[in-house]
Copies of this chain bind each other. A is one copy, B any other.
Amino acid sequence: MPETAPPSASPVYRPTARTVPTRSKERAVYDRDLVHAILDEAYICHLGFVREGAPVVLPTLYGRVGERLYVHGSTGSRPLRMAGGPRGAGEQAGAGSDGTEAPGLAVCLTVTHVDGLVLARSAFHHSINYRSVVVHGIARQVTDAEERRVALDAIVEHVVPGRSYDSRPANDRELAATAVIRLDLDEVSAKVRAGGPIDEPEDVGLPHWAGVVPLARGYDAPVPADDLDPTVVLPDYLSVL
């Protein structure tokens, strides 16, 4: 079963050679609560892996359960197959019912929020206010039936909190067609830029507007499915978006 970090866990992730940036070191943070908040607020991540020596970066949904991230997909999708599947499901044997550990897939999972456009007097100091999380690790396919159910619920809850309780759960056929991979939050860093532009002192008097244009996430009115029974009303968990 997935579990959260034990209460004794450090409030920060331990920096490693890969999670200490060469640039803007002062923007790197390892605080668990901040990392969780950044991860929970985004809809998608960008999942990177190596295929035939070259990088591949794909956008995908994900869910978080404590210190574990889950990504799902078709059992036929490339990265999920590469992470090792149940015996016979792909070209690479992985964790089977005999408990053999899957070899796993080295991944980098990145989540980014763009919070604002930073306009400085100089072109050079233009920037973006952002919050990002980068997770390095080995993704492995989840074969435990109960953990798979928890993971799939978390992915639906990640999109719309409350929704996993108001939809038909996956049936056996759907579960058999779905692969779930897990990435533990272990080698993790966040990076945050906030605040106004930082201009050179000699540029402050230039006649160019300087400041930040904040971006806001908004929603338009929900669009019912064409075939929605008109007696089904909009649920409360959508009216708060």
CB within 8 Å of B: which residues of A? Answer: 18, 22-23, 43-44, 46-50, 53-59, 61, 73-74, 76-78, 106-110, 112, 114, 117, 119-124, 126, 128, 130, 132, 134, 136, 152-153, 156, 159-160, 163-164, 166-171, 174, 178, 196-197, 199, 203-229, 232-235, 238, 241
Contact A168 B203 (CB under 8 A): yes
Contact A153 B123 (CB under 8 A): yes
Contact A57 B50 (CB under 8 A): no
Contact A23 B77 (CB under 8 A): yes
Contact A228 B216 (CB under 8 A): no
- Other A-B pairs, 7, CB within 8 Å; known A56-B136, A119-B160: A23-B74, A57-B134, A117-B160, A160-B213, A207-B232, A210-B224, A211-B224
- What residues of B have a CB within 8 angstroms of the CB of A23 in the complex? 73-74, 76-77
Q: A159-B126, A228-B209 are in contact. Are A22 and B106 (CB under 8 A)?
A: no
Contact A112 B44 (CB under 8 A): yes
Contact B108 A55 (CB under 8 A): yes
